[in-house]
Structure 1
Amino acid sequence: MTKYSSEFKLKIVQQYLEGKVGYKALGHIHGVHHRHIGNWVKLYEQHGTEGLAKRHTNYSVELKLNVLKKHLENSWSNQQTSAYFNIPSPSLIGVWLRLYNQGGETTLEPKPKGRRPVKRTSKDIQTLLKKPINELSHEELLQRVHYVEVENAYLKKLEALAQQKVLANKTKSK
């Protein structure tokens, strides 16, 4: 979704509240989907101009659970729930509900930030290959087997490509 300024949202909400134009017409005039306008109006009605302000928030697991509880108890739509809790994107409610249904509370916890674990370097692999097999741990043996399998598949593919090239040259020369 395109990011819109608070002033722009307020201008559209005020035009809607004047009662002369509906969501769809306003959306057409300003190039905004009418669902966004509906959400902005609900946020404005619940929270005033603060509801239209841009926010970058990390929501706690407790808040997410409270939101889902209220959402389900009252049979509210995602839009009604997001307006009540001043959550700018109604689609977040649907995401949280899906995650909760898939795996419970733990799926609502924030994902760890940062880099992925570093993979083994070629130096690590060379050390692993030079080490005698009887000195390797179970995990190291599995890593070594995996490396040898990948290497074998690569060599087979390389051989197949070389054979294709030879056949292509033979057919061209005929």
Structure 2
Amino acid sequence: MTKYTKEIKLAIYHEWIDDDRRGAYLSRKYGMRPGEIAYMVALLQRHGEGILDRPQQKYTCDFKLAAIDRVLLGGEALRQVSLDLGLTNHGILANWLRSFK
């Protein structure tokens, strides 16, 4: 996903929440895939706007393995685990899974 500023992410979020705009409209307007928009909105709803202020994260091997275990052994959905952990993109966990196998 292209790097978007905090202001653009918040504009997308508020259009989704306040103006009841949805994926297809916002996708055309901002050039972001509808799934990415839906994930970002869910992330902001769960963790609040402060999640956008976090610096880029470095994750430990133990953290990654615990996340992978939740998906592979616990049967949790990849997207759900990514949201729970506050990962900025569900693709991060997907990449960890690919490198683990």
Q: TM-score, normalised by structure 1?
A: 0.52
Q: Secondary structure at the match of 2:56?
A: coil
- The letter of the residue matching 1:31 is G
2:76: which partner in 1?
A: 75
Percent same amino acid among aligned pairs?
A: 25
- Dislocated runs of 4+, deviation >4 Å: none
* Contact 1:43–1:52 (Cα < 8 Å) also in 2: no
Q: State the alpha-carbon separation in 2 of the partners of residues 55 and 89 from structure 1.
A: 14
* Contact 1:6–1:54 (Cα < 8 Å) also in 2: no
Q: State the alpha-carbon separation in 2 of the partners of residues 71 and 45 from structure 1.
A: 22
Unaligned runs of 5+ in 2: none
1:84: which partner in 2?
A: 84
Unaligned runs of 5+ in 1: 102-174
Q: Secondary structure at the match of 2:96?
A: helix
Q: Deviations over 1:77-121 (max 9, x none)?
A: 3x32221101112111111112212xxxxxxxxxxxxxxxxxxxx
Q: TM-score, normalised by structure 2?
A: 0.85
1:5: which partner in 2?
A: 5
- State which structure, 1 or 2, has the greater radius of gyration over its C-alpha atoms: 1
1:14: which partner in 2?
A: 14
Listed as ranges, the matches of 1:121-136 within 5 Å are none
By relative contact order (CA 8 Å, sep 6+), the higher-ranking structure is 2
Superposed displacement of residue 19, structure 1 = 5.4
Q: Secondary structure at the match of 2:55?
A: coil
* Contact 1:43–1:83 (Cα < 8 Å) also in 2: yes
Count, aligned residues: 100
Q: Are positions 1:94 and 2:87 aligned together?
A: no
- The letter of the residue matching 1:40 is M
